[in-house]
Structure 1
Amino acid sequence: MGGGYGGGEAEGRRFAVLLCAEDSEYVKKVHGGYFKVFVSLLGEEGETWHVYRAACGELPPAEDVDSYDGFVISGSCSDAHGDDQWIRDLLSLLEALVSKKKQLLGVCFGHQILSRALGGKIGRAKRGWDLGVTCIHPSHSTIKQFSSLHIPSHLPVIECHRDEVWELPPNAEVMAESEKTGIEMFRYSNHVMGIQGHPEYTTDILIHLIDRLLQLNLIQNCHAETAKASAEAGEPNREAWKKLCKAFLKNQL
């Protein structure tokens, strides 16, 4: 069983984060790990939150799945179009959760793997890395559907990806796009939502990631400088993202 957080077992609703990345030393030291980063964005008093380290092969056992109201699928250093055993196991679980109509919120890798589980096409981004603070544009129908949340038409978010959703799953709809990425967000029915950006990230996490990617020679100096400049130029709209993600995950729309 993954680690826990929050109120008593019987009190309130239950959520789980399927963690698809290893915690970096920096995020552990400064934020207590990615699980706590998600809980600080999405958690509320009286809820119970658990973490399952999916990338290490840890997933909720079948008999526990029904006890959860919703699941968050995190980002990852791995490719959502890969075929590692843990990715195949995660796909099987997601297919089961979709059929049970559990609330599913996917972020970055999570957005891509949900799309794949539903029959969409994913792969390397045609326009390369998207790194830094990017302004995405929710569609008119999304702004209308979420009218009670007053979602702005320009919505900055932290991005850190080089893969993307190429083609939507059948019966899914695009919720937002950006200059670089055609499918920044998608929705399938009322219980699956994918977000290509990282609403949970803080600017310091982004700066740390840029430095790591540079050290690993995954990006060039010019990419790093442009990404850091975008972070200095504009903050992500964390409050708008918080409202949107919480309302969706908790089925309060």
Structure 2
Amino acid sequence: MKIGILQTGHSPDELRDVLGDYSNLFERLLDGQGFDFETFNIVDGVFPEGVDVCGGWLITGSKHGAYEDHPWIPPLETLIRDIYEAGRPLVGICFGHQIIAQALGGKVEKFKDGWAVGHQTYDWQGEQVSLNAWHQDQVTRLPDGARPIASNSFCENAALVYGDKAFTVQAHPEFGSDVIEGLIRTRGGAVPPELIAQAQERLNADVENARLAAQIGAFLKGQSV
């Protein structure tokens, strides 16, 4: 099964030679599940010819806001709606989580209470699940058809499912401690110092990326989350 990775941002230049681009992180996350991948650099204006060129789709994170004025955002929203209507499985992570909600009628805002950076723990359908996060924006109003399945005191809509059509997560299951450490060095200047210090203290705390990789893979293959 071919998964189209819609890349909506690039990893920092200083990290790319070592860690790869965001698409590479997802290829490693989902390795061993029988997928082939094709990356479309949406952020650079490169779009697929149609929704049927891949069996499933995944939208990456980005340093950009879903509500910002970039020429590639309106056609991305159209593509999201086309994928959704066609019934191709669609996964969104961080920015991907937000832009899917916005494209389908929800609202995304710069969150009034600031940032979530590094290790976070969520109530995930009655279980505690820890993942790395890096975001200030949040989905603040759900679109029709979206059901929350994870939250914490900071992020009410931390993961959403849209029936069998879309599965989206605010946190980053593709981020290990190496990525968080690199983002602290290269993009941490916008984050309050006390949050950076907390993230550094918890760099090596356990996260459940493998659990999310299995859920994402199962969803892309047509199984319920």
TM range (shorter): over 0.9
Question: Structure 2 regions of 5+ residues with no counterpart?
Answer: none
2:162 match: 188
1:166 match: 140
The alpha carbon displacement at 1:74 in A equals: 0.3
Distance 1:204 1:124 in 2: 26
2:173 match: 199
> Higher Cα Rg: structure 1 or 2?
1
- Asked whether the equivalents of residues 27 and 34 of structure 1 are also in contact (C-alpha less than 8 Å), the reply is no
Mapping for residues 54-73 of structure 1, pairs under 5 Å: 54-62=42-50, 65-73=51-59
RMSD of Structure 2 on Structure 1 (CA): 1.5
Equivalent position amino acid for 2:135 in 1: H
Residue 95 of structure 2 is aligned to residue 93 of structure 1: no
The alpha carbon displacement at 1:119 in A equals: 0.6
| TM-score, structure 1 as length reference | 0.84
2:193 match: 221
- Asked whether the equivalents of residues 14 and 186 of structure 2 are also in contact (C-alpha less than 8 Å), the reply is no
SS of 1:36's equivalent in the other structure is helix
2:101 match: 115
Distance 1:173 1:97 in 2: 19
Distance 1:236 1:221 in 2: 23
Q: 1:78 aligns with which of 53, 64, 68?
A: 64
Distance 1:47 1:134 in 2: 28
Q: Against the structure 1 CA distance between its residues 124 and 213, is the aligned structure 2 distance closer, same or farther, given a 3 Å change threshold?
A: same
String of CA shifts for 1:89-141, please: whole Å, max 9, x gaps: 1111111111101100000000000000111111011321000110011124x
Q: 1:237 aligns with which of 186, 208, 215?
A: 208
Q: Against the structure 1 CA distance between its residues 211 and 68, is the aligned structure 2 distance closer, same or farther, given a 3 Å change threshold?
A: same
String of CA shifts for 1:191-217, please: whole Å, max 9, x gaps: 201100000111110111112223xx3
Aligned length: 224
Equivalent position amino acid for 1:73 in 2: I
The alpha carbon displacement at 1:35 in A equals: 1.5
Mapping for residues 117-156 of structure 1, pairs under 5 Å: 117-140=103-126, 153-156=127-130
Distance 1:45 1:94 in 2: 24
Q: Against the structure 1 CA distance between its residues 176 and 46, is the aligned structure 2 distance closer, same or farther, given a 3 Å change threshold?
A: closer
SS of 1:85's equivalent in the other structure is coil
SS of 2:202's equivalent in the other structure is helix
Equivalent position amino acid for 1:235 in 2: D
| TM-score, structure 2 as length reference | 0.94
The alpha carbon displacement at 1:46 in A equals: 5.1
Return structure 1 stretches of 4+ with deviation > 4 angstroms: none
